[in-house]
């Protein structure tokens, strides 16, 4: 097989003989052919390849957040009705937000206060995902609050209701409310 240089030289001689064109045309044609024959093998050459494996592992993730740290329910004369023993007040200024990538999950709720003077209830209002349980009277036992929240991120407003009987007198209950995501 002839080398690219030998082919170019022979082709140039044929062009010189066959054509009576100007020197400029010959130079352009020769330059084009030289580029075509000499550079083509360089562009097609493969110098090497490498590869590796990348693995993405997703662990179970569960997050909970209450957007306001403190809710105050103050029962005063404005909450009392003459002749009725129960006085109530509600607060719906707090939002619960959650996210979980595990299926079959629920949220439970409990309080740290073992023997409260007054009744405190909580209700999930307008949940974006899942099913709200009926209003929960808080105790130290975890009680179902939201069901069917698996593989989602969502939120709900928290409506707290404080109930005091006139016959119970005055006082203060300080609750630490705990929400927990767990298997349903």
Categorize the per-residue pLDDT at 43 as very low, low, confident or very high, splitting at 50, 70 and 90.
low
- Closest C-alpha among 104, 172, 183 to residue 142: 183
pLDDT, averaged across the chain: 85
CA–CA gap between residue 13 and residue 26 (Å, rounded): 10
Q: pLDDT at residue 54 above 80? A: yes
Instruction: Name the token pair of 38.
Output: 């000499």
The pLDDT value recorded for residue 18 is 55
- The mean pLDDT value for 116-139 works out to 97
The neighbour count for residue 110, using CB atoms within 10 Å, is 19
The pLDDT value recorded for residue 4 is 60
- The mean pLDDT value for 57-84 works out to 87
Q: pLDDT at residue 161 above 90? A: yes
* DSSP state letter for 128: S
Q: pLDDT at residue 84 above 70? A: yes
The pLDDT value recorded for residue 23 is 62
């Amino acid at each position: 097989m002839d080398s690219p240089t030998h082919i170019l030289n022979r082709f140039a001689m044929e062009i010189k003989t066959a054509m009576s064109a100007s020197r400029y045309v010959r130079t352009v044609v020769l330059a084009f052919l030289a580029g075509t024959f000499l550079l083509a093998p360089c562009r097609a050459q493969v110098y090497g390849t490498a590869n590796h494996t990348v693995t993405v592992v997703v662990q179970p993730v569960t997050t909970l957040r209450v957007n306001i740290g403190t809710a105050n329910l103050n029962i005063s004369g404005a909450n009392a009705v003459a002749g009725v023993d129960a006085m109530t007040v509600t607060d719906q200024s707090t939002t619960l937000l959650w996210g979980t990538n595990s299926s079959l999950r629920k949220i439970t709720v409990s309080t740290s206060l073992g023997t409260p003077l007054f009744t405190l209830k909580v209700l999930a209002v307008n949940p974006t995902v899942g099913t709200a349980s009926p209003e929960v009277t808080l105790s130290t036992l975890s009680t179902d609050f939201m069901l069917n929240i698996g593989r989602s991120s969502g939120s709900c407003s928290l409506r707290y209701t404080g109930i005091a009987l006139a016959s119970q007198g005055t006082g203060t209950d300080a609750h630490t409310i705990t929400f927990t995501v767990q298997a349903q």
